[in-house]
């Protein structure tokens, strides 16, 4: 029996981009979090969707723990990444069609048999 996956089709385009391409991380210093007991914290925020990633790193550089904080409406549990990519491409294609930016589909060339040349 096939599993049917559905996503919220009104999902924000920035969320679809992050789910399809990956996050665009940049460092930031959170003001509302205490320092870790050991090591140091590397905090990253996505420039597109505002997801936060907080890594606790020991003094040798090993990641001891990782935590994500997602914006409201971002999480869609149990849906494979390919479903988000298909939805993103569907939205992008519709946008391109509106702006007349998609060319015609070119049919595949008809294969013909090549004739052997007669020996001279």
Residue 102 contacts residue 93 (beta carbons within 8 Å): yes
Tens of pLDDT, residue by residue, the chain (120 residues): 445 455 555 678 888 888 888 999 999 998 887 877 788 999 999 999 999 999 999 999 999 999 999 999 888 877 777 887 888 888 888 777 777 766 666 667 777 776 666 666
Q: How far is CA 51 from CA 18, 20, 65, 100, 104, in A?
A: 9, 14, 17, 34, 38
Please write the tens of the pLDDT for every residue from 11-25. 788 888 888 889 999
From 37, 69, 84, select the one nearest 56 (Cα to Cα).
37
H-assigned helices in 3-118 = 13-21, 81-98
The reported pLDDT for the residue numbered 2 is: 47
Distance CA 70, CA 88 (A): 19
Please write the tens of the pLDDT for every residue from 88-99. 888 888 777 777
pTM of the model: 0.64
The reported pLDDT for the residue numbered 37 is: 79
């Amino acid at each position: 029996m096939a599993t049917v996956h559905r996503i919220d089709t009104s999902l924000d385009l920035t969320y679809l981009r992050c789910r399809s391409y990956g996050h665009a991380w940049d460092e930031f210093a959170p003001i509302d979090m205490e320092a870790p007991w050991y090591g140091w914290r590397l905090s990253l925020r996505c420039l597109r969707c505002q997801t936060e990633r907080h890594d606790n790193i020991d003094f040798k550089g090993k990641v001891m723990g990782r935590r994500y904080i997602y914006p409201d409406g971002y999480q869609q549990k149990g849906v494979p990444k390919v479903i988000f990519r298909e939805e993103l491409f569907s939205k992008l294609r519709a946008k391109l069609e509106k702006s007349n930016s998609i060319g015609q589909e070119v049919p595949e060339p008809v294969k013909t048999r090549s004739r052997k040349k007669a020996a001279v």
